[in-house]
Structure 1
Amino acid sequence: MAKKMQTLTFRLLRKGRAPAKAISPTFAEDGEKPLTSEPWPPIEGGEVYFGQIYRKPPVWADFISTGLERTLDGMMTGGAGAVVFVPVKGRYVAVCFGQIHMALNDDAFERQFGLKVTLNSVPGSSIRSLDLATPDAVTFQKRVQASRDSDVNTFGVDQLRDIARVAGGTPKDPNFARFIAGKDSLSITCEIGPGDIEAKCAEIFQVYEKKDYRTDFKWVDNLRPVIEKDLIEQLDQELFSDLSELRKGNPADLHMSPPEVVDYTEGSELHYNGFRSHGVTFHSLAIADYVSELNRCKFAGDIKEIKEKHRISAKPSDKDEFSEKWKVYDCFVHEASLSSGGTTRHYILFAGNWFQVEASFKDSVDSFFDGIDRVAIVGKTAAHNEQELIEDLVKTRAGDLLKLDKTKINPTGVKNANLEPADFLSDKKHFIHLKDGHSSGPISHLWSQGVVSAESFVGDNGFRKKLRSVVKSEKKGFEVHLPRSTERVARENYTIVYGIMRQPYANGKLGLPFFSKVSLQVSVERLRRLGFEVAIELIEKPASSAKKKLSKKAKAAQLAIVEETEDEVLEEV
């Protein structure tokens, strides 16, 4: 067969993995739907697996049958697939066709293989598409596509916060490929024939081993995938420990996020499966729902069982049946630190992969965080949540603090923005923004709130006029701490204060999750460019807050806070 331009998909088996171990149990030799496996003579040592991956009636058949008053016998949808395993330097590159991905064991393949090949072969000036994720208390994911090859700097990459998930573009060597894109698998468009497969696999593996990506994409190394089994086991135990704390009703920095960009136009219903959880339907992905199901079903297994058996099934609005969507484990987002030999290393779990935070990156983030001014406006509190703290400050600090919580002001020309200037304004010209750092709302929302409020305060005369009027009506005379709408804002006289309620860590110290520090750095840099001083206060709250029984009034107040947050940020699916 002659060469022709076509698009092929490649994956790389992990070291020591044989082709037979790359097939999922259902499609293995002794599984329910065994694939046919044979040697592939065109390549010495090559093996091919192929078969019918699925075959079932279309979901719309019943609808049509109702109108016809008879069944549509024999109408089926189906998908076939094949994979050729090509030996390369003691390993195997898999060439995939059709629907074979549904029959493969993802754990047998190298993570980020396709991404690494892409970034090693595509210069920073020739990127066409990027999928980025920003881990935090709420994980944001985005796909940015250009109509033609563009410089990576035009894609809005936040090199401090973003993880590159998928990349696509035009390689600098047109003989290697005309277009290439990859995540774990690699999609490559090139001129190729069956006789060229072995050479192409060897060429791809050679590109994979390069370090060229460090020229234009060095920030990708901020997070290094963890592949050591014993280390992953340790980190998984840290995860399981925090999950256990959540099941007891204690706080923990663990949440869930889809492991990929989701099509929200579909709509969906979710089930948590694999531990005798039947029939309970949810409409969003949330750690609280999963924990409640574990407790309802009295799950007594370990993290290994969760990784292997717990699944999330989904039913889009245009489908009739639930089908497996993700592993529960792949939806966890978690941070952990491990110490050995006097050295502490920091890790994050995202999309089923543990990443080690590069040491110099972590040091620079921690150094920036430590350099932010500290204030002690509130101090240690007996309040168990944000609403209780606000109520306490209203009662005890009426002299120097004015409550602005739930005060909504629309910037000029904007309707229904409901922008909150701050939770409190102090007589020292502090705009104080408060957040319960263990609540369901993301801490990163607090940073953004401070920036948006400050930008409106500086750049919007109408906003300042409305704010001054509100302050005067609430506490006459307090408006002297604000400029008139026609006056220049003396930015250097104002301080944006972030107050975060936190429970002490096991060592008794107060702190923030690492990626909350990263997102804080971005906001602080913006505020400083605006000319404001910025300070932070970590407010110690009682360790028993999660177990405290709330009054109906307090529950309603907390619900209002959650709903307000959900209206202003992209929540979990």
Structure 2
Amino acid sequence: MAKSKAFSIYLLKEGYDAANALREDHALDDDIGAQGLPEGATLFVLDSDPRPPWWKSYFNVEKNLTQVNKGALVFLPVGGRCFALSFGHVAHNLIDSSYEYDFGLRVTLNSLDPHKLKSTDTLDPGAAKRQRTQLPIESELTLFDFDRDSTILRSLTGKVRDEHKELFRHATGGSNLRISTDVEADRLATLCEKLLDLYQSEEYKAAFPDIQNIMPVRDPAQIEALNGRLLAAFRARNPDLNLTVPEIINYSDNLYAAFAGAGRSLVYDDVYIGRYYEYLDEHGIDLNALGVEDLRRHVLVLTDEEGNSRDRYSIFKSLVFDTTLEDAQGETFHLCEGNWYRIDDTYIARLSAYLDPLCADSDLPPYDHPSEGEYNAAVGAGDAAIACLDTKNISPDGQSAVEPCDLLAVRDGVAAFYHVKVSTLSAQLSHLFNQGVNAIELMRLEPQAVDKLEALIREVLADGDADAMVTLVRDRKCRIVFGIVTRKDPAGRSLNLPLFSRISLMRGMKALQLMDVPGRVIFIADQVVAAEGRKKKRKKKDVPDEV
């Protein structure tokens, strides 16, 4: 029986082959003789010089120790396309845009036995959360806690169906396909032909129905068209285009914002696209002359109060935008963290149908404060019947802190737990929604959490108000209200939220529904007057032209 060999296989996009798929600065050698290559194949080899490992000098090892990196890329034309077979750590020499991002995943979906899965890699775009789940036994996809409504499947591992076992028995697929096979070199072209057929097949929809309501866009022409729509919106200063920090940040750190790429920037106390327009206008930049590469080159910089840089993000990666294309009827496209996603309009309609009835008029005062904490404190101080519980903790001793809510009030005969967020960033809102669900779940599961909440209520409210509220809490007559501070018109209802925030909200509301807890969303009017940008404080040493 022939020994199986490990292969990592990429499918190049149309128009790419050995002549144009490698990075210009690659260090691979193509002047290598090889008698066993498949017909038409091209070989590139990594043959680095021996060098000592870093820990040899670190520990002052006297023995002569060296190590080398070896690897190879074989380009194999098959069926009008070209495959790249990677051996060793050399795949990074391929141009990122040269291969199909979903080749391995599509092949695994079409070849794996849906009852014999072993591992999944998933992405929750709303929270930017990446997760790998492995089970000790072969299982179905549902046992991996895969949420078809909100999660993107990035990689899948399992056993293949019987009809494919003569080629390979196990497969892992993401951008590339990783398999072990006993196929000899003269049959690699045949193997790749079958892999190409599996990639082009849609049989997976029967075994994995509704596998992805959200799918990354992979067609270069479509991406180009979408980038064109983005540029048109940017140049027109479309109010539906937003600029956000593409990860969860701690606003209590007193972070400020600046920009780089077109010259020195003022330092601002908030992040929104109007500031970026101000920055460009200040430097006389013609918006019509800016392209996608300029947006990738320009940077959103988070700074401290003195303007010292902390984190940097590409402007393109920081943009959030929804749009449509004329030749893609029934689909909406969403830009998030620099990637375009395709969403079926029926799914978006389903989101709106579920969420819009949960949006209510705000019963909290407008927001006109420097921070969420000051707003919550002011609301609590302005109404003796409202308990401000911001930053309080109800978790049992020895467990991670859990905040019950920001504000607690009696509304319509129930205890209303308000969770307030000054943000429409997907990651921030996903955290907000999870916070609301987790607090209620903790109170349902841990009596000590309810005892702690009662103590907090009695510390803040007068006896009569406290007694009434405690009674409602202990009788489980509760409601969760997510208060989102925004300048958007409340009439927009759920459409005021980014797509992935709507998905996270629906998931959270359904979790509350299972606990028989009503949920609402209110939009709190943001009446803060934006402060003018100020110059970065200069230090004695030379200051660079840009942040």
Map Cα deviations across residues 183-215 of structure 1 (whole Å, 9 max, x no partner): 111111222111211111111111111112212
Map Cα deviations across residues 535-565 of structure 1 (whole Å, 9 max, x no partner): 110112137547589xxxxxxxxxxxxxxxx
The one-letter code matched in structure 2 to 1:212 is: E
1:36 equivalent in alignment to 2:31: yes
8 Å Cα contact 2:416-2:480 kept in structure 1: yes
Alignment length (residue pairs): 483
1:97 equivalent in alignment to 2:83: no
Map Cα deviations across residues 281-315 of structure 1 (whole Å, 9 max, x no partner): xxxxx99xxx9xx99xx9x98542675999xxxxx
The one-letter code matched in structure 1 to 2:152 is: I
Residue 122 of structure 1 corresponds to which residue in structure 2? Answer: 112
Return the alpha-carbon distance in structure 2 between the equivalents of residues 329 and 37 of structure 1: 40
Alpha-carbon offset, residue 350 of structure 1: 6.1
Question: Of residues 215, 218, 221 in structure 1, which corresponds to 2:212?
Answer: 221
Residue 306 of structure 2 corresponds to which residue in structure 1? Answer: none
Map Cα deviations across residues 319-363 of structure 1 (whole Å, 9 max, x no partner): xxxxxxxx9779947542124559795434568642212222222
Alpha-carbon offset, residue 148 of structure 1: 3.1
Q: Indicate how the Cα distance of structure 1 residues 441 and 95 shifts in structure 2: closer, same or farther if over 3 A, else same.
A: closer
**Which runs of structure 2 are paired with 1:276-291 in the superposition (5 Å)?**
none
Residue 519 of structure 2 corresponds to which residue in structure 1? Answer: 534
Q: Indicate how the Cα distance of structure 1 residues 441 and 355 shifts in structure 2: closer, same or farther if over 3 A, else same.
A: closer
**Which runs of structure 2 are paired with 1:120-199 in the superposition (5 Å)?**
120-136=110-126, 138-173=127-162, 174-199=165-190
8 Å Cα contact 1:330-1:350 kept in structure 2: no
8 Å Cα contact 2:330-2:346 kept in structure 1: no
8 Å Cα contact 1:252-1:438 kept in structure 2: no
Map Cα deviations across residues 25-68 of structure 1 (whole Å, 9 max, x no partner): 112xxxx6654378977533332222426765422233244x65
The one-letter code matched in structure 2 to 1:111 is: Y
Return the alpha-carbon distance in structure 1 between the equivalents of residues 19 and 531 of structure 2: 48
**Which runs of structure 2 are paired with 1:33-432 in the superposition (5 Å)?**
34-36=29-31, 43-52=38-47, 56-65=51-60, 76-136=66-126, 138-173=127-162, 174-233=165-224, 235-236=226-227, 252-256=243-247, 303-304=292-293, 332=317, 335-340=320-325, 346-349=332-335, 353-396=339-382, 398-411=383-396, 414-428=397-411, 429-432=415-418
Q: Indicate how the Cα distance of structure 1 residues 388 and 36 shifts in structure 2: closer, same or farther if over 3 A, else same.
A: farther
8 Å Cα contact 1:39-1:45 kept in structure 2: no
8 Å Cα contact 1:226-1:356 kept in structure 2: yes
Return the alpha-carbon distance in structure 1 between the equivalents of residues 425 and 107 of structure 2: 40
Q: Indicate how the Cα distance of structure 1 residues 225 and 415 shifts in structure 2: closer, same or farther if over 3 A, else same.
A: closer
Question: Of residues 478, 491, 514 in structure 2, which corresponds to 1:494?
Answer: 478
What is the RMSD computed on CA atoms of the aligned residues? 4.2
Residue 497 of structure 2 corresponds to which residue in structure 1? Answer: 512
The one-letter code matched in structure 2 to 1:369 is: L
Query: What TM-score results when the alignment is normalised by the length of structure 1?
Result: 0.73
Map Cα deviations across residues 255-286 of structure 1 (whole Å, 9 max, x no partner): 159xxxxxxxxxxxxxxxx9899xxxxxxxx9
Alpha-carbon offset, residue 83 of structure 1: 2.1
Alpha-carbon offset, residue 423 of structure 1: 1.3
Map Cα deviations across residues 46-98 of structure 1 (whole Å, 9 max, x no partner): 32222426765422233244x65xxx87x543222222222222111222222
- 3-state SS of 1:94 partner: strand
8 Å Cα contact 1:4-1:193 kept in structure 2: no
The one-letter code matched in structure 1 to 2:130 is: Q
Structure 2 regions of 5+ residues with no counterpart?
Answer: 236-240, 249-259, 264-270, 300-311, 535-547
Of all paired residues, the percent bearing the same amino acid is: 22
Return the alpha-carbon distance in structure 2 between the equivalents of residues 308 and 169 of structure 1: 40
- 3-state SS of 2:211 partner: helix
Question: Of residues 436, 439, 444 in structure 1, which corresponds to 2:422?
Answer: 436
**Which runs of structure 2 are paired with 1:472-491 in the superposition (5 Å)?**
472-476=458-462, 477-483=464-470, 489-491=474-476
Return the alpha-carbon distance in structure 2 between the equivalents of residues 440 and 514 of structure 1: 8
Query: What TM-score results when the alignment is normalised by the length of structure 2?
Result: 0.76
